[in-house]
Amino acid sequence: MSERFLITGAQLPSGERTDLLLDGGVIAEVGSIADAAGATVVDAAGLIALPGLVDLHTHLREPGYEQSETVLTGTQAAAAGGFTAVFAMANTSPVADTAGVVEQELSLGRAAGYATVQPIGAVTVGLKGEQLAELGAMAQSRARVRVFSDDGFCVFDPLLMRRALEYVKAFDGVIAQHAQEPRLTQGAQMNEGALSGELGLAGWPAVAEESIIARDVLLAEHVGSRLHVCHVSTAGSVEVVRWAKARGIDVTAEVTPHHLLLTEELVASYDPRFKVNPPLRRAEDVEALRAALADGTIDIVATDHAPHPIEAKECEWDAAANGMVGLESALSVVHAAMVDTGLIGWADVARVLSETPARIGRLAGHGAPIAVGAPAELTLYDPSASAEFDLARLAGRSVNSPYLGRTLPGRVVATFHQGYATLLDGAVRPADEVARHAAERLEVLRG
Amino acid sequence: MRHLLSTRSLSRDDAIALLDVAEDMAAVQEREVKKLPTLRGKTVVNLFFEDSTRTRISFEAAAKRLSADVINFSAKGSSVSKGESLKDTAQTLQAMGADGVVIRHPASGAPQTLAMSGWIDAGVVNAGDGTHEHPTQALLDAFTMRRRLHGAASRGRDLGGVRVVIVGDILHSRVARSNVWLLATLGAEVTLVAPPTLVPVDVSGWPASIGYDLDAALATMPDVVMMLRIQAERMQGAFFPNSREYARTWGLDDARFAQLPTTTMVMHPGPMNRGLEIAARAADSPQSTVREQVANGVSVRMAALYLLLSGEREVAR
């Protein structure tokens, strides 16, 4: 297949209609393009063109948990969801706490070719919260790690958190904190409130998140460091982040698609598909998170794509794993929760799902506005389609989606990474084709 | 009735109908031959993921007196630690032709998961799930109250106006939850008394009033005082300083018991911690219903199994 694409009649986030020529890994032309010999024509009438989406929070599970996901299948899910870059969380086995592991992930991502895989490094050795991992070695490795996170666990020790925040300043890194006070959430199963009391499930109180965020923004202020807060889930957390930003503290925050759409009421079914950490919260929290994303208090949407095998969810609630797959559904969920509600427009979607996550993660080559010379990282989205979200929409190895059976708006039609297609006509391109294109791009880049 | 998973979802009419059938079953228990042929050929499995000899033998006696075949399946330990999933266990029971499954499980919601999963066609009776519900305990408690209050004239009656004080670890008690829903459905006025650490954070939606002062609650001269068991593991959880302070503040000791009217029933789901939540004098007094509760448990469980398993099974959903 050709590596030149002529995309006709696409609507840019600004609302403007244009043709786009992808050639040589960049957007070669924008405007009314009459002639593009040899290019594959993609009719994008009625479709929105977004800069390729960037997910700052993805669990790819490889190495170690390949029964749930691999770098290949996870990035196929990314392509299906319109993502061209994913930040791979460190809770693999072995943990991504050394240069060797992050370089391995980088290589796996490059070989698969569906998206840029940017490894995240662990903050502490083995995610144990006891001693700093080799942050500098990971930063200086081929993987050029800039985001560090013990996600799944909170960096609870305040002194260790302080040191981590300080240390990564040397290479413009950021600590992405999983804000969860461990003592207040021992055995926690769902949001603590009226419903947890009724269902007899151990509560995960909002204060356990809010108190850590409050501590961390104060630490970041004290040492003059950059902090990123993962999966903010409560109205109180929004208030803390808003306060910190007003004070000039260098903090960014993310919200997951599921916390923008789903509420704890779903837990009453005891259906483990709805079990996630942090847990689904109240409708008031959802409202506050939406408002915060709209007004910029929350900077980005990140999926927390967390694949699990079937048996980890086909069981009683307490025994089930936390997590939901989210790459394939993210754009439709943001569309439903934020665009259809009139809170944000498509330019904001480009900002919260591409531009800002790339900037927070210091990822070059992604998140740039669609313009001549920009990298050919592009997503075409059909906002008019509305359909029941079904298994056919899932492209990763796991099927633990909370949206199965639910009607969602929109559909990702095509995704272009480094100028070649990873998704066309709503279908993920074959692995061998994508790998071949990726190898060719690597050759070109190496000269 | 297809399953008995909670009292939350039980209507007043269904609850009274079940208590009335239990009256019939209790009448049978007074005969020389205590056995009915009703469930002959049916198989009831007692699936216990948690030790509870009392509840298991109560269900076993109930099923046997209805002539059902009983299989006791002890699967102690969580499904994860045991290595066999709830799904595999359920499918094993399905393959053996279980008509009814009585399940006790440490995880809240496990009976509902079992009933709604499609893994099994059997009727499911919740015999206590985590800190969620224990519906047959609440039903036998209501049955016991109704009998004490109305004797032979109990049939068809609810518990309108009956004032019940439930004391102890509300937070972790499936007995308290099932009782709150059922007693409210039957018209009783429920007051919960506990240390604030042992009350769920938000009970504003519960059909009960909440208090921290046991003496004040007892001074209202309630019709029923139900003492809940304090589990040993709560001593380590910083829920209260120590057992002496708990007994002094929230225990039904001799002095408190002496102030109650002689008509006030003293209930306990058992097993009792004598000297902690309840003094021996109260537990052994004529006002105590503890032994009646055990006897009535068999009648109520017979009624539940009868309503679930006799006749044609309703087709699943």
> For the segment A222-272, what is each residue's pLDDT rounded down to a tens digit?
999 999 999 999 999 999 999 999 999 999 999 999 999 999 999 999 999
| Positions in chain A whose pLDDT score sits under 50 | 1
Q: Give chain B positions within 8 Å (CB) of A204.
A: none
- Which two tokens mark A150? 């013990």
Contact B203 A311 (CB under 8 A): no
Query: Among B8, B87, B113, B137, which would you mutate to test the A interface (most chain A Cβ atoms within 10 Å of its Cβ)?
Result: B113
pLDDT of B1: 84
Q: What is the pLDDT of residues A58-92, one digit of tens each?
A: 999 999 999 999 999 999 999 999 999 999 999 99
Q: How buried is A311 (Cβ within 10 angstroms: 0-12 exposed, 13-18 middle, 19+ buried)? A: middle
Taking only the tens place, the pLDDT of each residue in A120-132 is: 999 999 999 999 9
* Neighbouring residues of A264: CB distance < 8 A, sequence distance ≥ 6: A190, A191, A193, A195, A196, A279, A280, A281, A282
Strands A53-58 and A26-31, bridge-based pairing: unpaired
Amino acid at A167: Y
Q: What's the rounded mean pLDDT across residues B125-152? A: 97
Strand partners, A85: A54, A116
State the Cα–Cα distance between residues A123 and B175, nearest whole angstrom.
45
Interface test with B, best of A186, A198, A269, A273 (most B CBs within 10 A): A198
Are B205 and B165 in contact by the 8 Å Cβ rule? The answer is: no
Q: Where are the alpha helices (DSSP H) in A134-225?
A: 135-140, 158-167, 194-199, 206-223
Q: Is A77 left (phi over 0), alpha (psi -120 to 50) or beta?
A: alpha
Q: Say whether A316 and B174 touch across the interface (CB within 8 A).
A: no
Confidence of residue B317 (pLDDT cuts 50, 70, 90): very low
Comma-separated ranges of CATH 2.30.40.10 domains in chain A: 5-48+375-446
The reply to whether A194 touches chain B by the CB within 8 Å rule is yes
Nearest of B294, B308, B206 to residue A200 by alpha carbon: B206
Between CA B236 and CA B43 the distance in angstroms is 41
- Contact assignment for B8 to A198 by CB distance below 8 Å: yes
Kindly report, residue by residue over A419-440, the tens digit of the pLDDT: 999 999 999 999 999 999 999 9
Q: Which tokens in the block code for residue B111?
A: 């009976």
Beta-bridge partner residues of A380 = A49, A414
Which pLDDT score, from 0 to 100, does residue A362 have?
Answer: 98
Q: A218: buried, middle or exposed (CB in 10 Å: 19+, 13-18, 0-12)?
A: middle
Phi then psi for residue A189, to 5 deg, are: -120, -25
**Could you say which of B105, B174, B201 has the minimum Cβ distance to residue A203?**
B201
User: Is A88 touching B (CB cutoff 8 A)?
Assistant: no
What DSSP line would sit under B191-236, residue for residue? Answer: EEE--GGGS-S--TTSSSEEES-HHHHHHT--SEEEEPPPPGGGGG
- In DSSP notation, A94-150 reads S-S-SHHHHHHHHHHHHHH-SSEEEEPBPSBGGG-SSSB--HHHHHHSTT---EE--
Scanning A274-333 for CB atoms below 8 A from B yields 311, 314-319
Delimit the CATH 3.20.20.140 region(s) of chain A: 52-360
Phi, psi at A57, each rounded to 5°: -150, 85
Q: Active-site residues of A: which are they?
A: 304
CA distance A199 to chain B (A): 5
Nearest chain B residue to A271 by CA: give it.
B113
Q: Which residues of B touch A (CB under 8 A)?
A: 8, 78-80, 85-87, 105-110, 112-113, 116-117, 129-133, 171, 174, 177, 200-206
DSSP annotation string for B244-277: HHHHHHHSB-HHHHHHS-TT-EEE--S---BTTT
Please say if the pLDDT value at position B213 is more than 70.
Answer: yes
Q: What is the pLDDT of residue A313?
A: 95
- Tell me if A198 and B78 make a contact (CB, 8 A cut-off): no
Where do runs of H (alpha helix) occur along A186-282?
Answer: 194-199, 206-223, 235-246, 257-261
Length of chain A: 447
Q: Is the pLDDT of residue B79 over 60?
A: no
Give chain B's domains with CATH numbers. 12-133+295-309 (3.40.50.1370), 135-293 (3.40.50.1370)
Q: Which residues of A touch B86 (CB under 8 A)?
A: 315-316, 319
* Cβ atoms < 10 Å from Cβ of B241: 11
**A52-360 carries CATH number 3.20.20.140:** yes
**Beta-sheet pairing, A53-58 with A17-23:** unpaired
Tell me if A316 and B113 make a contact (CB, 8 A cut-off). yes
Specify the pLDDT at position A1. Answer: 45
Task: Name the closest residue on chain B to residue A186, using Cα atoms.
Answer: B237
A11 touches chain B (CB under 8 A): no
Task: Report the complex ipTM.
Answer: 0.93
Q: Would the CB atoms of A315 and B108 count as touching at under 8 Å? A: no
B85: nearest CA in chain A? A315
Q: Does A184 touch chain B (CB under 8 A)?
A: no
> Tokens representing B243?
């057992």
* Confidence at B316, pLDDT banded by 50, 70, 90: very low
CB neighbour class for B96 (10 Å; exposed up to 12, middle 13-18, buried from 19):
exposed
User: Pick from B79, B174, B204: which is nearest to A200 by CB?
Assistant: B174
Nearest to A316 among B107, B131, B205 (CB): B107
The residues pairing with A420 across neighbouring beta strands, listed in sequence order, are A417
pLDDT interval class at B238 (50, 70, 90): confident
Q: Which two tokens stand for residue A123?
A: 């903050």
- Amino acid present at A440: E
Residues annotated in a binding site of B for L-aspartate? 82, 174, 229
3-state secondary structure of A271: coil
Q: Do B79 and A203 touch (CB under 8 A)?
A: no
Of the partner residues B112, B174, B204, the one whose CB lies closest to the CB of residue A270:
B112
CATH 3.50.50.100 applies to domain A5-48+375-446: no
Q: With cut-offs at 50, 70 and 90, classify the pLDDT of residue B83.
A: low
Tokens 């305990």, located at residue:
B137
Give the residue among B297, B279, B310, B247 at the shortest CA–CA distance from B22. Answer: B297
Q: What is the distance between the alpha carbons of residues A382 and A370, in angstroms, rounded to a whole number?
A: 17
